[in-house]
Amino acid sequence: MKIAFVFPGQASQYVGMGKDLYENNPIAKEIFDKAEEILGFEIKRLCFEGPEEDLKQTKITQPAIFVHSYVISRLLDGKLKADMSAGHSLGEYSALVYAGVLSFEDALKIVKLRGELMQKAGEENPGTMAAIIGLDYERVKELCEEVKDGIVQPANFNTPEQIVISGEVDAVRKVMELAQKVGAKMVKELVVSGAFHSPLMESAKEELKKALDEVKFNKPSIPVYFNVTAKPSYDPGEIKNLLYLQITSPVLWSQIIKNMISDGATRFYEIGPGKVLQGLIKRIDSNVEVSGFDKFDDIKKLEG
């Protein structure tokens, strides 16, 4: 039996996240205080009190989720240990810190920059994303390829039947129409500030590369399964490149989970805010055990 830690990405945030951790644990308090110092803005107030509109801004969302996940992983030290890890988009940074590839401080600085760059790219190259439920990978890819006028591509392969597309607004909406015509169960445009994991994020990618090049990467202490390949890598240079490519590449989440299961994972824990990944994993394979750590009470339950 192997334990897998999975770390959430954007859209898992909620007002009040981390407040109970901060108030009940000195390690959590120290991490949040340190994060605020590094970030240079009121991350604690935004996480604990909102407003939701501000917390939903990409440049705030990303550091908020990352810090929350890191706090939880630290509070699990000595209580529960993962044999492998992965993270959904932004969550990949949390997985890498857990595996000792990046320091918390370095990763937080990169995550802050990543959020700012992605928000800026979204403002400069407006786009959108949409979830398509009930069609398989190949069909969605074909529909995207049918739209010749404008940029659109699969962005997140979340489950075998839930695929998110990303790109220019008109092109995404055209694929939504096509998907409905060929029998998709549900098609829904998402409320996002940019076309993430699409070529519209190219400007963010180039700026991020400079920051990644300045940071020390170590070999992971446990396998980390990457969004771009769905496989682990142990080469620090390759890991750096995968983070760079991730900005404009699809997130192969469904394949990551299948690969982790075939490598022995039987128990998945979502580490951080919300339950998004728990829902996806159950739809990928209903036989594995799935739960999460989000609040202080979740950690207390582990202590009995």
| Active-site residue list | 89, 197
Q: Are 265 and 3 in contact (CB under 8 A)?
A: yes
User: What phi, psi does 175 have (nearest 5°)?
Assistant: -65, -35
C-alpha distances out from residue 98 to 71, 79, 102, 219, 288, Å: 11, 14, 8, 12, 22
- The helix (run of H) or strand (run of E) holding residue 304 is none
Pairing of β 265-271 and β 289-293: parallel
Angle between helices 276-284 and 253-262 (to 10 degrees): 60
Of residues 4, 8, 20, the one with CA closest to residue 80? 4
Pairing of β 2-7 and β 265-271: parallel
Q: Each residue of 168-189: b (16+ CB within 10 Å) or e?
A: beebbbbbbebbeeeebeebee
User: CA-to-CA distance for 117 and 228, rounded, in angstroms?
Assistant: 20
User: CA-to-CA distance for 291 and 304, rounded, in angstroms?
Assistant: 16
Angle between helices 236-246 and 202-213 (to 10 degrees): 160
- What is the length of the chain? 304
